[in-house]
Structure 1
Amino acid sequence: MRTIPELPVIDPAVLADPFTAYARVSAQSPVVRLVGPGMPALWAVTRHEHARAVLADPRFELSEASFLRPPGIPEHCARYLHTMAEMDGPEHAHLRSAVAPAFTARRTERLRPALDLIVDRLLAPLGGSTDLLREFAGPLPMEVICELVGIPESDRPRWRGYGAAVAAGFGSGFIAAIPDILASAETAVAAARATPDDGILSLLVDGPLTEVELVTLVWHLLLAGQTPTNLIANSVAALLAHPDQLALLRENPALAPNAVEELMRWCGPQLLTTPRYATEDVPIDDVVIPRGAAMTVSIAAANRDPRAFANPDQLDITRPLGSPAHLGFSHGPHFCLGAPLAKAQTEIALTALLHRFPTITPTEPFVPTPDPGTWRLAALPVHLG
């Protein structure tokens, strides 16, 4: 058996450049240990082939220990917080099949005119020096969620506040907002039942989901729907650091769908998957993951695995897609149901941004937020000209 490398995930050098750090340990072993002060033992797979296998392996299960539930959440809210992301097996399959019709690629295509309008509205007041994260990439997903759920215009300022609370993380503001968020979700479900519209709730209210499951779906959308914020910000930063790729996309907007896939591979926000627990001893290569051990997948490493991708550290928006597929939206039963919508938002946002502003110049260095699980920027200060 080989020596298992260890990676100190909160080391400043790792937080500043996780891609290089994971590449180093991945070259030594397909399985590593992630370590840190006060951190429980956590195994991680780092290579694309093994990552796909783990994500589709029912011997690795979610548990209550997989998720951090911040203290202070009111008791009456608890029944709404158990989302699809926290389920496995038949329970997960039931919910996923029930909501899948609302998230098809075809339905996303029908939303594109609305997405165009939202993006144009957010970009219209911008110019000169601005923080694109605060003024554009941050607000966009919440505007899209309101459109998706069918929130009336008069209620959207309140929902924008919910989006800001979720984006701020598990602090006191987030916890304080939870009762209001869930009460508004209850109101949205009731409105969809009383006065159907084009939103996904109206599509789902007469299906097999219970009231609790419908409200929980809205809560899930608020949490999971924030992915485009970081993907758009990361993408802009990556393109500015690779002016040849920026120029190529600006000159050929038809490359946008391909570019989004490559950017998700190269600088997608999710570095690690939610931990799962081995239900039995599981061999991976010549390493045995013991029963009860926590296991994660290093998406950062798998998406830059030289065994899977030619020149993996090169950003190439013309890279052929699909063989193999990147893991930015996971794989297996928990492949992101909202992937078509997240990709459409990012594609439209980048295309409109580059079309509207012939020059985009950083005004300060872009600094990543120190987070071992997510690759995200603290701000995106640029000059738009």
Structure 2
Amino acid sequence: MISSPEIVDLSDVAEDLYRDPYAVLAALRARGPAHFVRLPNGSEVWLIVGYDEALAALGDPTLIKNWLRATGRIGPGAIGANMISSDPPDHTRLRRLVSREFTARRVAALVPRVEAIAVELLDRMDSGAGPHDLIAGFAFPLPVAVISELLGVPFLDRTEFSGLCGRIMASAGDATSTEKDIEEINRYFDGLIERKRADPGEDLLSALIRVTDEDADRLSHAELRATTFLLLVAGHVTSTNLIANGVLALLDHPDQLAALRADWELLPRAVEEILRYDGPQPFSTRRFTTTHWPVGDSGTVIPPGETVMIALAAASHDPARFPRAGDFDIHRTTPGHLAFGHGIHYCLGAPLARVQVSTALRVLLNRFPALSLSCGADRSWRRTLISRGVTDLPVLLR
């Protein structure tokens, strides 16, 4: 067991980590599957960078998610009882209740609206002179509109709701701003939940208010609010970055873009490769060891009471799992990327994210066959480890 591990100070390479985490993480992985690191925000954690070890960590129930149980304090940015920061049996109950209503059928029913919203947004972009910011005009408003319809946000509230979503996305990595934005959107959700109780509809939030299980259990108000917040984040931040990262990957690899245009049957594979190659969440949320945790057969054992993060980006680029891992290849057939996690905390919003990015890419690329990046545009990446995406994406439509 390592009693005083060497600290790898990632704050020294913070800009590289935001801009191109894959190179930084590959260098770490070459030295071993797990390292004790200091993150750019100053916190010290064990970071898992190997694929097999990441898969094991994501699926191990001895690595817990509950901050209060593990540390005796509430974690930063806490939003109440939710699936991400809970363990069984609490997690089991919450996921069961939400899964009863956030179904594949409900997501599939959204497909025509996703396509209609995408067409409407591209109509607006096409009416103005270029270059156009694809994030401001398309990749951001599309998921916001979709999550608004899914949750049943009233039409007259959507401008306010979109502004709240934008501030949460813009303040990622700024703890003070994020806390203020969370407080404001929680106040909005409090009011929306009360309105839905009085006048329910066919939307997901109304369904979550009504849902019960075989024991007549239901979600409390705090659980409803926290669940709604999670759906908001999963429904717009992840999808915004996924759409933008996907467009970037395809435009950076014209041979792959040409292959997709020539055969739209490749679209599902292209989406999975985008998720693997440059997914929207490069690092997992935190877990905590409850016992001595051996990192595979590396000889490293993480002591109990330690904080663990999984570098999803490193795992999905591990050449031991994915041959030519640094290549973007929409014909790739190797399954198992970890962009949406693994195990009991596998992202519940994954089907919705897949629907949105596949629809967005198909509608966008068919509408604008000559779509290209604006010449000379510098890429500015968001300064956060939890969410990967550019702040803007200037493109030429024709």
SS of 2:53 mapped into structure 1: helix
Relative to structure 1, is the Cα distance of residues 176 and 302 closer, same or farther in structure 2, using a 3 angstrom cutoff?
A: closer
**C-alpha deviation, 1:42, in angstroms:** 1.1
**C-alpha deviation, 1:67, in angstroms:** 7.5
- Are 1:246 and 2:257 an aligned pair? yes
The answer on whether the counterparts of 1:67 and 1:274 sit within 8 Å (CA) in structure 2 is no
Indicate the residue corresponding to 1:290 in structure 2.
Answer: 303
The answer on whether the counterparts of 1:4 and 1:31 sit within 8 Å (CA) in structure 2 is no
After TM superposition, what 4+ stretches of structure 1 lie above 6 angstroms from structure 2? 1-5
Deviations 1:276-325 (A, max 9, x none): 11111111121110111111111111001111112111111121153xx1
Deviations 1:244-297 (A, max 9, x none): 111122222232222111100000021111121111111112111011111111
1:216 to 226, 235, 240: 226
Indicate the residue corresponding to 1:320 in structure 2.
Answer: 333
Relative to structure 1, is the Cα distance of residues 309 and 266 closer, same or farther in structure 2, using a 3 angstrom cutoff?
A: same
Indicate the residue corresponding to 2:214 in structure 1.
Answer: none
Indicate the residue corresponding to 1:167 in structure 2.
Answer: 169
Per the normalisation by structure 2, the TM-score is: 0.87
- Are 1:227 and 2:238 an aligned pair? yes
Indicate the residue corresponding to 2:90 in structure 1.
Answer: 91
Relative to structure 1, is the Cα distance of residues 300 and 5 closer, same or farther in structure 2, using a 3 angstrom cutoff?
A: farther
1:46 to 40, 45, 49: 49
1:137 to 118, 136, 139: 139
Per the normalisation by structure 1, the TM-score is: 0.90
Q: Distance in 2 between matches of 1:41 and 1:313?
A: 28
The answer on whether the counterparts of 1:104 and 1:340 sit within 8 Å (CA) in structure 2 is no
Indicate the residue corresponding to 2:215 in structure 1.
Answer: none
The answer on whether the counterparts of 2:6 and 2:36 sit within 8 Å (CA) in structure 1 is yes
SS of 1:6 mapped into structure 2: strand
SS of 1:85 mapped into structure 2: coil
Q: Is the deviation greater in 19-28 or in 331-340? A: 19-28
Q: Distance in 2 between matches of 1:115 and 1:36?
A: 37
Q: Distance in 2 between matches of 1:177 and 1:233?
A: 23
The answer on whether the counterparts of 2:37 and 2:46 sit within 8 Å (CA) in structure 1 is yes
- Are 1:271 and 2:278 an aligned pair? no
Alignment of 1:1-385 (within 5 A): 6=8, 8-11=10-13, 12-36=15-39, 39-62=42-65, 63-64=67-68, 69=76, 81-127=80-126, 128-169=130-171, 170=174, 174-207=178-211, 208-225=218-235, 226-284=237-295, 285=297, 286-320=299-333, 322=335, 325-363=336-374, 364-385=377-398
Q: Is the deviation greater in 161-170 or in 42-51? A: 161-170
Aligned letter for 2:76?
R
Relative to structure 1, is the Cα distance of residues 315 and 28 closer, same or farther in structure 2, using a 3 angstrom cutoff?
A: same
Q: Distance in 2 between matches of 1:118 and 1:186?
A: 27
Aligned letter for 1:52?
L
Q: Distance in 2 between matches of 1:115 and 1:158?
A: 20
Deviations 1:96-153 (A, max 9, x none): 0000123332321111011111211211111331111121112222111111011221
The answer on whether the counterparts of 1:42 and 1:295 sit within 8 Å (CA) in structure 2 is yes
Relative to structure 1, is the Cα distance of residues 20 and 102 closer, same or farther in structure 2, using a 3 angstrom cutoff?
A: same
Q: Distance in 1 between matches of 2:168 and 2:317?
A: 29
**C-alpha deviation, 1:5, in angstroms:** 8.1
**C-alpha deviation, 1:168, in angstroms:** 1.6
Aligned letter for 2:20?
D
Aligned letter for 1:297?
I
Aligned letter for 2:252?
A
Deviations 1:60-82 (A, max 9, x none): 11214697535xxxxxxx8x533
SS of 1:296 mapped into structure 2: strand
Q: Distance in 2 between matches of 1:179 and 1:372?
A: 22
Q: Is the deviation greater in 351-360 or in 24-33? A: 24-33
Q: Is the deviation greater in 110-119 or in 194-203? A: 194-203
Relative to structure 1, is the Cα distance of residues 67 and 360 closer, same or farther in structure 2, using a 3 angstrom cutoff?
A: farther
Q: Is the deviation greater in 12-21 or in 339-348? A: 12-21
Relative to structure 1, is the Cα distance of residues 298 and 232 closer, same or farther in structure 2, using a 3 angstrom cutoff?
A: same
SS of 1:86 mapped into structure 2: coil
SS of 2:341 mapped into structure 1: coil
Q: Among all aligned residue pairs of Structure 1 and Structure 2, give the percentage whose two residues are the same amino acid.
A: 36
Relative to structure 1, is the Cα distance of residues 9 and 93 closer, same or farther in structure 2, using a 3 angstrom cutoff?
A: farther
Quote the RMSD (CA, aligned, Å): 2.3
Q: Distance in 2 between matches of 1:279 and 1:114?
A: 45
Aligned positions, number:
375
Q: Distance in 2 between matches of 1:126 and 1:37?
A: 37
Gaps of 5+ in 1: 71-77
Relative to structure 1, is the Cα distance of residues 256 and 163 closer, same or farther in structure 2, using a 3 angstrom cutoff?
A: same
Indicate the residue corresponding to 1:75 in structure 2.
Answer: none
